[in-house]
Structure 1
Amino acid sequence: MKFEIMSRKTIKPSIPTPHQHRTFSLSLLDQIFPPIYSSTVFFYSSNPNEKGNSITSQVLQQSSRLQNSLSKTLVHFYPMAGRLKDTASVECNDQGAYFVEAQVSCSLVDFLIQPKIELLSHFSPIIDPYTTQLASDSMLLIQLTAFSCGGIAIAVCPSHKIMDGSSLFSFLQSWTVTSRGYGEVVIPKFIGSSLLPPRDLPIMPNPKVNFQAKKCITRRFVFDASKIFSLKAKTAGAIGQRSPTNVEIVLALILKCAMAASKSISSRLGPLVLSQAVDLRKRMVPPLPENSIGNLIWQFLVFSKDSELEIHDLVAKMREGLIEFSNEKANKFKGDEGFQMVCESLKERGELMKRMDITIYRCTSLCKLPLYEMDFGWGKPMWITNNSSNYFEKLIVLMDTKQGDGIEAWVTLEEREMEIFQRSKGLLEFASFNPSAFVKQSRI
């Protein structure tokens, strides 16, 4: 497979940002997130409405539609067209989002039938050194990659300084509606700084690890609905009356197998800490609007001194941690009380990071976000990937499968641990290792 970048340009809002919105204030939670990019890639088959045109013409029309609709969408999401001014604000100067056009010398179906995980980064603009140098201060990067068959991949890479997963979904909803020309455009609500105003904070350490030194690698595992049902049945009765959610049971199995792999290398495995991201919007009183934009998430910690926990024990601990966080902390992320709680949490995490006897896993779940509904005007995506593994080790990212009833898990571990983890019988009894991503789809 040969990848080639064809063009790089900036897309500015179609209407200039009003003077009163030229300075966008970050929230306290935005402040503590490092300026890293997330990368979500959507794979689409060739446009069936353009069969009479050449493949080149199809792709050019799709690219033009994406750029025009992006320009209109940035009018509402104006901070995404700005530049980071300082630690507490974005200058909404309409410099624009960065848009890359590329091509790859293979067909989309051939790639999906046997996806090569190590090549996925080439579909994202943040892998190209020249692009990242030119767009180093951009808040949003987009890459359209054309396959030889006319299929395309669209990578959406927002800065984590002002967007979490739910914010990205709101942005995509607005962009896709504008692109296809029908539906209700999502108007964002920028309320983060009114809840938790920015503060003078010490420089936050960049969490990026040296992957060359660490030799971390990412692997993909798919849990289909029948396997998840079997896994739940296997633990039925030990968890309690309430059946575990798909995310709980899958995450518990991954943690158990990952800890076993780690222990087989180090022989002595210390306490476990799970850092699990949770959306604050629906857990505040009253709940925040779904179209609230910003980093409105927090990571609650689950501790365990016992590295030999069974799946039902892990589920119980995760559930207990989430309930405690939701009931006692989620609604406190406001004003001075929120500032105090954030400071205490950061201090606690800083002390944990210094300890050499603990093992910390991070988990982010994008499940239940209907990303497979994102239609720019030529159908829904055939496959979606999310790659955040450039920044963290021991990272678990969970996403829904295209069918909506299964889970794709993207697991990043140190190379030696992964070699053991990916061969775990307990894992492979319920998960498929990097199966085909090609699913035949009918169009309505």
Structure 2
Amino acid sequence: MAKTLSANSLVWESPLHMVTPSPALQPGPSGGDEPKFADLQLGPLDLMFDYHNSVILFYDARPSIVSLGSNGRTSERGYELPEVRLRRALEQLLVHQPSAAGVLVQNESGDRVQIKYPVAPFVDGDGAKRAPFVYGVPFHVAHANIALADLGDVSIPDPSLDILYPPMPKQGVGDDGCVLPRFVMSFQVTTFTCGGFSIAHVCSHAYADGYTAAVFIQNLCSIARGEGLAVEVDRPVTSTTAVMGPREPPCPTLDHSFIKAWKPAKIQGVHLQRATATRMVVSMEALKALRNSVGIPCSRNQVLLALLWRAHARVRRVVHGLPGDEEEVMAFPMNLRTRGIPGVGEGFVGNAVYLCPVRSTISQLLEMPLSSLVRKIRRAAVENLDIAACTQSLIDYVELQLREGLVPRNTSFTMPSLVSLPFYETDCGWGRPTYVGRPSQQIHNLSIVLDHPAANAWNVLTVFRSLEERACFEEVFRDYVS
């Protein structure tokens, strides 16, 4: 029987470490008694995703197979502790991405959020080079008094597992009308009595999309095992707007009405509605059978997207009583790094995501054959799609909202997938992770797809606000996936 984690299960390392770029590797001047700062200007696509995401990686290491580190602190058992190796690797990685050690703040004109970060060390009274305490990556270390196996199946969302993540920064607006400063990212490493450990990462989506976050952890682990960067990052980066910015004047050419906008003070209650997610497992055999059943060429992602959209529409019709002619918009993210857009390659740091919308009525979603729904998605994603022009239109649309002092957010049903991202290519010296998951608290209106190699399956995490919603959704799901 699985054990439940609680606050009493963890012993925290003190004090909290604020990791900054390694002074020994940092370019530029090394003297002076004041830090030097730079600003990373965020583009419209970044500001559309101004909230933090979390991911966790579990490693089932054993002391007997862990190699001795060449330097750094070692445990009584004679091997380097994971938190020591990872913290040192993070110092080295931040030299390549110093903006990750920054803080999200309001810019001087007061109309945008940007990132301010230190770019040169300074010397304090004891002669040590370091950045101000407020800047850096918070690095939490905890030690659990149980074995990793005692947690049971960690692929099942469980609120008790959320203690393995670093705390989320408070998002909102202060009394002065400015956004509250928030760190860009943070880490928590938790070790278990068996020698296993977990790495949890909280990262601002305004700074990094899923691909960027996955590559950051991939590079962190590659440095930790002594192999340098796995993926070169574009630097220096001073403005994502310079690469993916609006036209002047902004002139959207497509319908992006599924992107809604509110005043900053109202955004918390409008969009970020969270609840505990429910997991549904889709085996590779079931995905293969589902693809074969539609009878047309399609990817596993496309056919699963069609099925989840149908299930979502049935909840809207049966549980919430929406009329059949109500339009339902589903927008799925597309990685732009492989689309030939100038300046947007695999090393681009930021949000290179186009939300591709597909529209249908509830009646059509429930009545048309699944193959027709897949065809509709394929037409939107593959056929007649000028991705550069569509992305430019979306950027211009969001920019117009930002200029009005509004906060734009995607309100459509969305199915982000972590399956194709390199989270499982994160060996920091103890092998690859056994599972990569998300916290139990997920945003409503999403179905998040995660890879599950050990089970030869995909996991789908979906939030339901009632048992009636869950039963209605799962009934459609079971009609196609056994």
The answer to whether TM tops 0.5 is yes
Structure 1 Cα separation of the partners of residues 353 and 422 of structure 2: 18
State the Cα deviation string for residues 369-423 of structure 1 (Å, max 9, x = none): 1321210111100000134954x31211112222696422111232234431464
- Show structure 2 runs of 5+ residues with no match: 30-35, 107-111, 119-130, 171-179, 251-260
Corresponding residue for residue 386 of structure 1: 438
CA contact (8 A) 1:5 1:100 kept: no
Pick the aligned partner of 1:138 from 183, 195, 199.
183
Structure 1 Cα separation of the partners of residues 94 and 223 of structure 2: 11
CA contact (8 A) 1:12 1:97 kept: yes
Which residue identity is paired with 2:423? L
**Once the 2 structures are TM-superposed, how far is the Cα of residue 105 of structure 1 from its aligned partner?**
3.7
The 3 A distance-change label for structure 1 pair 6 and 141 is same
1:76 aligns with 2:96: yes
Corresponding residue for residue 222 of structure 1: 281
Q: Secondary structure at the match of 1:366?
A: coil
Structure 2 Cα separation of the partners of residues 389 and 154 of structure 1: 18
The 3 A distance-change label for structure 1 pair 59 and 410 is farther
Structure 2 Cα separation of the partners of residues 179 and 60 of structure 1: 11
State the Cα deviation string for residues 5-31 of structure 1 (Å, max 9, x = none): 503221111034648872222223223
Alignment of structure 1 residues 351-390 onto 2, 5 Å: 360-387=412-439, 389-390=441-442
Alignment of structure 1 residues 26-41 onto 2, 5 Å: 26-34=42-50, 36-41=51-56
Q: From the two aligned structures, give the one with the greater helix fraction.
A: 1
The 3 A distance-change label for structure 1 pair 183 and 343 is closer
1:280 aligns with 2:336: yes
Corresponding residue for residue 231 of structure 1: 290
Q: Secondary structure at the match of 1:414?
A: coil
**Once the 2 structures are TM-superposed, how far is the Cα of residue 288 of structure 1 from its aligned partner?**
2.6
1:195 aligns with 2:243: yes
CA contact (8 A) 1:55 1:150 kept: no
1:327 aligns with 2:367: no
Structure 1 Cα separation of the partners of residues 274 and 346 of structure 2: 38
- Show structure 1 runs of 5+ residues with no match: 130-134, 432-444
Structure 2 Cα separation of the partners of residues 152 and 415 of structure 1: 34
Q: What is the TM-score when the length of structure 1 is the normalising length?
A: 0.79
Corresponding residue for residue 313 of structure 1: 372
Say what the alpha-carbon RMSD is for the aligned residues.
Answer: 3.8
Structure 1 Cα separation of the partners of residues 152 and 419 of structure 2: 21
1:268 aligns with 2:322: yes
Q: Secondary structure at the match of 1:327?
A: coil
Structure 1 Cα separation of the partners of residues 473 and 209 of structure 2: 29
**Once the 2 structures are TM-superposed, how far is the Cα of residue 128 of structure 1 from its aligned partner?**
9.0
Structure 2 Cα separation of the partners of residues 119 and 215 of structure 1: 16
Which residue identity is paired with 1:275? A
State the Cα deviation string for residues 253-310 of structure 1 (Å, max 9, x = none): 2222232233332233432111211112222445732111101112122111134144
Corresponding residue for residue 140 of structure 2: 100
Which residue identity is paired with 1:43? F
Q: Secondary structure at the match of 1:278?
A: strand
Which residue identity is paired with 1:9? H
Pick the aligned partner of 2:446 from 395, 409, 419.
395
Pick the aligned partner of 2:159 from 118, 122, 139.
118
State the Cα deviation string for residues 199-220 of structure 1 (Å, max 9, x = none): 99996577545799x7843111
Which residue identity is paired with 2:377? M
CA contact (8 A) 1:32 1:204 kept: no
**Once the 2 structures are TM-superposed, how far is the Cα of residue 58 of structure 1 from its aligned partner?**
7.4
Which residue identity is paired with 1:65? R
**Once the 2 structures are TM-superposed, how far is the Cα of residue 102 of structure 1 from its aligned partner?**
1.9
1:251 aligns with 2:255: no
Corresponding residue for residue 410 of structure 1: 461
Q: Which has the larger radius of gyration?
A: 2
Structure 1 Cα separation of the partners of residues 402 and 81 of structure 2: 48
Which residue identity is paired with 1:22? A
Structure 2 Cα separation of the partners of residues 249 and 107 of structure 1: 38
CA contact (8 A) 2:56 2:199 kept: yes
Q: Secondary structure at the match of 2:138?
A: strand
Which residue identity is paired with 1:298? Y
Q: What is the TM-score when the length of structure 2 is the normalising length?
A: 0.73
**Once the 2 structures are TM-superposed, how far is the Cα of residue 88 of structure 1 from its aligned partner?**
4.8
The 3 A distance-change label for structure 1 pair 215 and 195 is closer
CA contact (8 A) 1:279 1:296 kept: yes
Corresponding residue for residue 437 of structure 1: none
Pick the aligned partner of 1:304 from 357, 360, 370.
360
Q: Secondary structure at the match of 1:113?
A: coil
Which residue identity is paired with 1:23? D
Which residue identity is paired with 1:373? E
1:172 aligns with 2:176: no
CA contact (8 A) 2:308 2:477 kept: no
